[in-house]
Amino acid sequence: MRSTRFPINEDAKFNWRVLTQLWPYLAEFKSRVWLALSCLVFAKIASVTLPFVLKHIVDNLNLEGAKETVMGVIIALIIAYGLLRLANVLFGEIRDTLFGRVTERAMRRLGLSVFNHLHRLDLDFHLSRQTGGLSRDMERGTSGISFLMRFMVFNIGPTLLEIAMVVGILFYNYGFTFATVILTSVLIYVVFSMRATDWRTKYVKELNQADNQSNTRAIDSLLNFETVKYFNNEGFEAERYDLGLANWEVARRKNRLSLFALNGGQALIIALAMTSMLALAAFEVAEGNMTIGDFVLVNAFTMQIFMPLNFLGFVYREIRGSLTNIENLFKLLERSPGIQDSPDAKELSVDKGKITFSQVNFGYSEARQILHDVSFSIGAGEKVAVVGESGSGKSTLVKLLFRFYDIDSGSISIDGQSIASVTQHSLRKCIGIVPQDTVLFNDSLYENIRYGRPEANDEDIQEAIKLAHLDAFIAKLPEGTDTQVGERGLKLSGGEKQRVAIARAILKRPPIMVFDEATSSLDSQSEQAILSALKALAKGHTSLMIAHRLSTIVDADKILVMHQGRIIESGSHEKLLEADGHYAKLWRSQLKQKQAPSTLS
In order of start, what are the domains of the chain with their CATH numbers? 17-334 (1.20.1560.10), 355-430+510-600 (3.40.50.300), 441-497 (no CATH)
What are the distances in angstroms from CA 564 to CA 126, 143, 392?
Answer: 26, 49, 5
What is the pLDDT, as a whole number, of residue 377?
92
What is the pLDDT, as a whole number, of residue 131?
59
For the chain, list residues with pLDDT below 70.
1-19, 21, 62-70, 72, 122, 124, 126-137, 153-154, 310-314, 488, 518-540, 594-601
What is the pLDDT, as a whole number, of residue 14?
57
**In angstroms, rounded to a whole number, what is the distance separating the alpha carbons of residues 493 and 103?**
45
What is the pLDDT, as a whole number, of residue 423?
92
**In angstroms, rounded to a whole number, what is the distance separating the alpha carbons of residues 170 and 177?**
9
H-helix or E-strand spanning residue 515: strand 512-516
What is the pLDDT, as a whole number, of residue 226?
80
pTM of the model as a whole: 0.64
The partner residues of 355 in beta bridges, in order of sequence, read 378, 414
CB 262 within 8 A of CB 193: yes
What is the pLDDT, as a whole number, of residue 69?
58
In angstroms and rounded to an integer, the radius of gyration of the C-alpha atoms of the chain is 36
CB 442 within 8 A of CB 488: yes
What one-character-per-residue DSSP string does 195-248 give?
HHHHHHHHHHHHHHHHHHHHHHHHHHHHHTHHHHHHTT-HHHHHHHHHHHHHHH
Coil, helix or strand for 478?
coil
**In angstroms, rounded to a whole number, what is the distance separating the alpha carbons of residues 206 and 7?**
10
What is the pLDDT, as a whole number, of residue 410?
92
**In angstroms, rounded to a whole number, what is the distance separating the alpha carbons of residues 91 and 397?**
64
What is the pLDDT, as a whole number, of residue 525?
64
What is the pLDDT, as a whole number, of residue 548?
81
CB 315 within 8 A of CB 156: yes
CB 444 within 8 A of CB 483: yes
CB 137 within 8 A of CB 326: no
Determine the residue type at 303: M
What is the pLDDT, as a whole number, of residue 130?
58
CB 6 within 8 A of CB 318: yes
**In angstroms, rounded to a whole number, what is the distance separating the alpha carbons of residues 68 and 173?**
30
What is the pLDDT, as a whole number, of residue 7?
40
What are the distances in angstroms from CA 165 to CA 88, 141, 159, 424?
Answer: 16, 34, 10, 59
